[in-house]
Structure 1
């Protein structure tokens, strides 16, 4: 299963990093790799929550939360054209504040070919997303 992982240390409490991470509706103003996010349900962000994401150079995708441990991690999935994308977001305590780990993997009959063409873009996006969350969490923005 092709994929990648990126971790970053953030000089902010894990609770603050989590707060920024799950506020997906504000991602477009905070993260340059996200053009728009539309929550497809109301209420707290939890298992079963879905959002439509638009990102530059990628097809629009609906992501649905499949696992969530409040304050610590969530995983969401998106199914498109013969591939299942899975993205995980993990916040852990760290001596310097918090450690954020973002990971994405793809599976399915068309995943290998698709990954071949999108791996570089995916890596840049994951790194940019982690750096953006770090910046917001550290500045209280």
Structure 2
């Protein structure tokens, strides 16, 4: 199953990327995150791992599998029978900044888990992007 959510943000792409890619600070601005523990130091990079605790979800360790600095990063968490991929994109569209979050669940149990958790997943992904919008716009000249 695939879930996507995008928002136009009144801040520079650089500012939005700075916040979106600083995963260690997500718990400070996203109500869907209880805690974040970076398992590696420094900015994210391919292979970097992060443990995230979220309400109503099992603790997950995410590993960065793709990175285009300033534009996109993707990470993967695995559980019994499911692979979850999270995508985080910042792009400039017609002079505006658009942030998009994507969540894809695959594997023998991916579809089942996706269906069972669809409502919560949609709520979380929208709340995360809207919270990103709020923090980026509050910290950036309009």
TM-score range relative to shorter protein: over 0.9
Q: What stretches of structure 1 move > 6 A for 4+ residues in a row?
A: none
Aligned length: 140
Q: What does the per-residue CA deviation read over 1:34-70, in whole Å, with 9 as the maximum and x for residues that have no partner? A: 0000000112211111100000000000000000000
* Corresponding residue number in structure 2 for 1:26: 25
In the TM superposition, 1:26-105 aligns within 5 A as 26-95=25-94, 97-105=96-104
CA distance in 1, matches of 2:95, 2:123: 24
Unaligned runs of 5+ in 2: none
How high is the TM-score relative to the length of structure 2?
Answer: 0.95
- Measured after TM superposition, the shift of residue 29 of structure 1 is 1.1
Tell me if structure 2 keeps the 8 A contact 1:33–1:128: yes
Per the normalisation by structure 1, the TM-score is: 0.96
Deviations 1:2-27 (A, max 9, x none): 11111110000000000000111111
- Corresponding residue number in structure 2 for 1:121: 120
Q: Provide the rounded CA distance (Å) in 2 between the counterparts of 1:84 and 1:76.
A: 10
